[in-house]
Amino acid sequence: MTEALTHAAETTGTTAAHAQPGPAAGQAAGVPASATDVESAVHAIADRSRRAARSMATANRAWKDRGLRAVGEALRENAQAILAANAMDVRRGKDNGTSKALLDRLTLTESRIDGLVAALENLANLPDPVGNVVRGQTLPNGLRLRQVNVPMGVVAAIYEARPNVTVDIAGLALKSGNAVILRGGSAAEATNQVLVRVLREALESVGLPADAVQTVDQFGRAGANVLMKARGRVDVLIPRGGRDLIQTVVTNSAVPVIETGEGNVHIFLDESADESMAVEILLNAKTQRPSVCNTVETLLVHSGTTVFPAVATALRNAGVRLHVDQRISAALPAGLEAEPATDADWATEYMDLDLAVAMVDSLDEAIQHIRTWSTGHTEAILTNSLANAERFIAEVDSAAVIVNASTRFTDGGELGLGAEVGISTQKLHARGPMGLTELTTTKWIVQGEGQVRG
């Protein structure tokens, strides 16, 4: 396994009794002594998840929504315990030299907890995806057909340094009628321990199965390995984190994977773009929260634009470090600092206050640059040309394409999904922000009156 997954998977193995109430508590004294013991313990968790998933699949919307609101209330009631545990994780992360970007993702605050509670309330207000009719018809022979959304079953998630994901995925799984198994990693160990306990107790308080939310954190890297191989016990696995973690899961998993991707995000500043709009959008897309995957990492500037000096000045005044090609260097206002860009800059997801900037002579050249370097996450164009906007939409092949708005909108909550499991950059089943519907599959229901096939 790579260093990234090793870091995400390691844990002391001493917190299982609190993080995982119920039958798994027998492992509370520490990580099992052998690989066989770990495999048996993780399989037992998965089997309990499958039983819980059967109960969740039959829960009606009102019941699931009560569970979501109970979780929200429990988060508020336990906020101080959650923040105290999170402070321990952040302090340990600083001591271990964790990057600024990962520390930002790791950190919870009162306002971020409020945001999690608001996301749960939004989920409760959304329609139940289970039972939604995708399509239907009556055949000439009288058979009545419906294709309907049904829960996936057991959803597993492997992620790193993101305790908000613990709540987001649990909430989405609950509303979509699934059970979830979490692998949150050692960086957020203390925080996730408290969060999982709070989630399970809240579910029990409304009569939903606590085992709809479980964790394998107590089994460390070995537990993550078993989870990835638990085909038949786990229905789908979703990795969230850096490239190394995601690719390790994709490469090693026997369980079907919905792949989330890194965000090497581009904005093309067309020659017709309005100056005030361009400045405001670029500042938001780069500086509002630099550590997340929908932050812009490369700015492509049309050589005919007159608004770039104002954009560059605003970015530098906001503390953004510019990595520029030779033509951009020549176009910078006098005295504005920048450093030369290399090919590595065009490929880098900085997740910090850094921005690669290149000059292009046409929309075609901008699209070609994006095709060469994009990770297929989000691309945006700033333009007053309808023709250019329509060409950009048609020819850029990414999960999200944005016209005249910040790339920060590629987010499940912002797009009305309530929350998100992650942002998929693949093309099978789910693409872009994954919400409730993406945690369902479909079932064909065929109803007849004695018809037989001729």
Least confident of 2-11, 140-149, 241-250, 308-317: 2-11
Q: How many whole angstroms separate alpha carbon 179 and alpha carbon 396?
A: 36
What is the tally of structural domains in the chain? 2
Residue pLDDT, tens place only, 9-61: 333 333 333 334 443 433 344 445 578 899 999 999 999 999 999 999 999 99
Instruction: Give the Cβ contact number of residue 76 at 10 Å.
Output: 13
Residues 88 and 14 in one domain: yes
CA distance linking residue 35 with residue 31, whole number of Å: 10
Q: What is the mean pLDDT of residues 169-189?
A: 95
What's the whole-number mean pLDDT along residues 436-448? 94
Q: Are residues 331 and 228 in the same domain?
A: no
Do 333 and 313 contact (CB within 8 A), yes or no? yes
Domain membership flag for residue 238: yes
DSSP, res 152: -
In a domain, 432, yes or no: no
Does 450 fall in a domain?
no
Residues 21 and 119 reside in one and the same domain: yes
**Residues 223 and 323 reside in one and the same domain:** no
Do both 202 and 63 map to the same domain?
yes
The last residue of one of the domains, among 252, 280, 306, is 252
Taking the CA atoms of residue 39, residue 92, residue 408 and residue 274 in that order, the dihedral angle to the nearest 10 degrees is -150
User: Poorest-confidence range of 157-161, 186-190, 416-420?
Assistant: 416-420
- Is 424 domain-assigned? no
- 85: which 2 tokens? 């545990």
d(CA 360, CA 299): 10
Q: How confident is the model at residue 71 (pLDDT cuts 50, 70, 90)?
A: very high
Measure the CA–CA gap between 172 and 130, rounded to whole angstroms. 12
pLDDT digits (tens, 9 = 90+) for 319-345: 999 999 999 999 999 999 999 999 999
Together in a domain, 337 and 310? yes
* Per-residue pLDDT at 16: 35
pLDDT given for residue 29 in this prediction: 40
Least confident of 29-33, 376-380, 446-450: 29-33
The boundaries of the domain holding residue 398 are 265-414
- 116: burial class by Cβ within 10 Å (0-12, 13-18, 19+)? buried
Q: Are 349 and 262 in contact (CB under 8 A)?
A: yes
- pLDDT for res 32: 54
Residue 116's Cα: distance from chain center in Å? 14
CA distances from 232 to 43, 73, 184, 228, 259 (A): 10, 35, 22, 11, 19
C-beta atoms surrounding 181 within 10 Å: 27
Same domain, 237 and 350: no
Q: Are residues 19 and 81 in the same domain?
A: yes
Q: Which of 197, 229, 252 corresponds to the end of one domain?
A: 252
CA dihedral 19→21→26→32, nearest 10 degrees, is -30
pLDDT at residue 23, rounded to an integer: 38
323 with 224, same domain: the answer is no
Contact 211, 51 (CB under 8 A): yes
Residue 161 domain-assigned (yes or no): yes
The beta-strand segments (E) located in 69-132 are: none
Q: Specify the CATH number for the domain of residue 138.
A: 3.40.605.10
Q: What's the average model confidence in pLDDT over 179-192? A: 95
- The answer on 349 and 322 residing in a single domain is yes
Does 3 have pLDDT greater than 50? no
On whether both 116 and 225 belong to a single domain, the answer is yes
**Residue 342: CATH number of its domain:** 3.40.309.10
Q: What is the C-alpha end-to-end distance of the chain, expressed in Å?
A: 54
Residue 16: inside a domain, yes or no?
yes
Sorting pLDDT into bands at 50, 70 and 90, what band is 114? Answer: very high
Residue type at 33 in one-letter notation: A
Supply the Cα-derived Rg of the chain in whole angstroms. Answer: 24
Q: What's the confidence (pLDDT) of residue 36?
A: 87
pLDDT tier for residue 291 given thresholds of 50, 70 and 90: confident
Distance of CA 352 to the CA centre of its chain: 18
Among 380, 396, 414, the domain boundary falls at 414
**Cβ atoms of residues 369 and 346 within 8 Å:** yes
Long-range pairs for 308-314: beta carbons < 8 A, 24 or more residues apart: 308/269, 309/333, 310/275, 310/278, 310/279, 311/269, 311/275, 311/278, 311/279, 311/282, 312/336, 312/357, 314/279, 314/282, 314/283
pLDDT at 146 over 60: yes
Instruction: Tell whether 257 is covered by a domain.
Output: no
Average pLDDT, the chain: 90
Does 50 lie in the same domain as 97? yes
Residue 221 inside a domain? The answer is yes
CA distance 28 to 17: 5
